[in-house]
Amino acid sequence: MRELFSEVLALQLEYSSENTPAMARRGDLIRNIIPTEMRDWAAAAPGALLPFRGRLNVQGRDGTGLKTFVPWVRIHSPELSPSAQSGWYVVYLFREDGSGVTLGISHGSTRFDGGDFKPRSATEAASLMRWGRGLLGDEASLLGFNEGVDLGSAQKLSRAYEATTAFSKLYPTNDLPSDETLQRDAENAVGLLGQIYRAIELGRSPEADPPEIAEAREAITTIARPKSPSARLSGQGFGLTAAQKQAVEARAMAMAYSWLQANGFDNIKDVHQTHSCDYLARRDNVEHCIEVKGTTAALGKVLLTANEVELHRKSYPHNVLIVVHDINLLDLRTIADGGVVTAFEQWSVAEAQLVPLSYSCILSILE
């Protein structure tokens, strides 16, 4: 791999936007030869991402049509980063001037607006980087990664790459490490990426839905559009397992029960198997419907069924929505711990922002 990287960097000095012989060779290295060899690395094996359970792919690009100044090869989850414009990934960015290649932990730097790829806003990029660095900072530093990246280029896309790279490590052309060091560093980078992916699974990144909402979206897509790419990718080993979901639910129910006891409710009955709510409880001799939602994500969104929404409409104001959020998963991620209780007493559905995930459409049939 060291020799392949060295050849790409030498070809950078012969850069042309046209498909010259030098650029054709660079393209073959970036799109085919390097990814093929890298797929045999331990860093590209699914186990490298633990505790995230998803699979990995290796992809390289040097420009579609016109050749790019900064070619790249990335290791990524096909589910969480289906394209280089979206999601987090580990990436090798070859400097425009051929002076080195950086190993980075980056996020998609652009958005497609229907006609062209546009850099993400500074605010959006800063939010993503602040979150990623906060999650990985100490460990990344111990592994020899530095915050940000300098690609030595004034090109627009190069600046976009710089704005959306959380950590990087530079390999100068005149001091490229051995294959063993390259592979070890890649394993370390992918291990950090696995932590990011797991946090996304748990709904703890700025752009991630809570896992229960993400799973609902995927299930709906699988049923409604079974031939779509996202439907084909569902069920590939990411998301919470059945055991983890049960642990989160049990933790939420236990903490909600304690909250009800501490807040003057008695005659508390667990009715989640027979009713559209989870508890029936009395306070001041008035029965209340209690809905409990548990999530590993922060407080923000919860998933409600149509029956649950209707029940809250009917039972208002004698209803309570209890959200137990920021639940942690310990050991083999099957034991739930922690969590914060936020209770919404006399919760009004009319004042909530309900966002449909799908519709049932009744067609008007002309006779």
The string of pLDDT tens digits covering residues 156-168 is: 878 888 999 999 9
Q: Is 114 part of any domain?
A: yes
Q: What is the mean pLDDT of residues 286-302?
A: 95
Q: Is 248 part of any domain?
A: yes
361: which 2 tokens?
């459409």
Q: What is the DSSP letter of 275?
A: S
Q: What pLDDT band is residue 231 in, cutting at 50, 70 and 90?
A: very low
d(CA 348, CA 88): 38
Helices (H), 48-205: 122-142, 156-163, 179-201
Task: Tell me the C-alpha to C-alpha distance, in Å, between residue 113 and each of 110, 119, 126, 293.
Answer: 9, 10, 20, 36
d(CA 261, CA 125): 44
Predicted TM-score of the model (pTM): 0.82
Q: What pLDDT band is residue 233 in, cutting at 50, 70 and 90?
A: very low
Helix axes 2-12 and 179-201, enclosed angle (nearest 10): 90
Q: What is the mean pLDDT of residues 248-276?
A: 96
Q: Is 213 part of any domain?
A: no
271: which 2 tokens?
């009715």
% of the chain with per-residue pLDDT over 90? 67
CB count in 10 Å sphere of residue 163? 21
d(CA 249, CA 266): 22
* 259 and 164 co-located in one domain: no
* 106 and 249 co-located in one domain: no
* 197 and 258 co-located in one domain: no
Least confident of 16-25, 44-53, 311-320, 326-335: 44-53
Choosing from 201, 234, 255, the residue where a domain stops is 201
Whether 148 has a pLDDT exceeding 60, the answer reads yes
* 314 and 187 co-located in one domain: no
d(CA 102, CA 145): 10
315: which 2 tokens?
């039972």
Q: Is 358 part of any domain?
A: no
The pLDDT assigned to 237 comes to 47
The pLDDT assigned to 218 comes to 82
Task: Tell me the C-alpha to C-alpha distance, in Å, between residue 350 and each of 223, 336, 354.
Answer: 30, 33, 9
* 169 and 255 co-located in one domain: no
Residue-wise pLDDT for 49-108, tens only, equals 776 767 899 999 998 789 999 999 999 999 889 888 889 999 999 999 999 999 999 999
The domain in which residue 329 lies consists of: 242-351
The count of structural domains within the chain is 2
**8 A C-beta contact, residue 82 and residue 59:** no
Query: What number of helices (H) and strands (E) belong to the chain?
Result: 10, 13
Q: Is 255 part of any domain?
A: yes
What's the gap between Cα 150 and its chain centre? 25
* 154 and 248 co-located in one domain: no
Q: Is 119 part of any domain?
A: yes
Contact partners, residue 121, CB within 8 Å, separation at least 6:
none
d(CA 322, CA 257): 10
Residue-wise pLDDT for 209-221, tens only, equals 888 988 888 888 8
The pLDDT assigned to 266 comes to 96
CB count in 10 Å sphere of residue 322? 24
Report the chain's mean pLDDT, rounded to a whole number.
90
The pLDDT assigned to 115 comes to 57
Q: What pLDDT band is residue 234 in, cutting at 50, 70 and 90?
A: very low
* 192 and 270 co-located in one domain: no
**8 A C-beta contact, residue 68 and residue 62:** yes
Q: Is the peptide bond before 229 cis (omega within 30 degrees of 0)?
A: no
Per the DSSP assignment, residues forming a β-bridge with 336 are: 329
- Tally the C-alpha atoms within 13 A of residue 122's C-alpha that lie toward its C-beta: 1
Q: Which helix (H) or strand (E) is 167 found in, with range?
A: strand 165-172
Whether 179 has a pLDDT exceeding 90, the answer reads yes
**8 A C-beta contact, residue 295 and residue 211:** yes
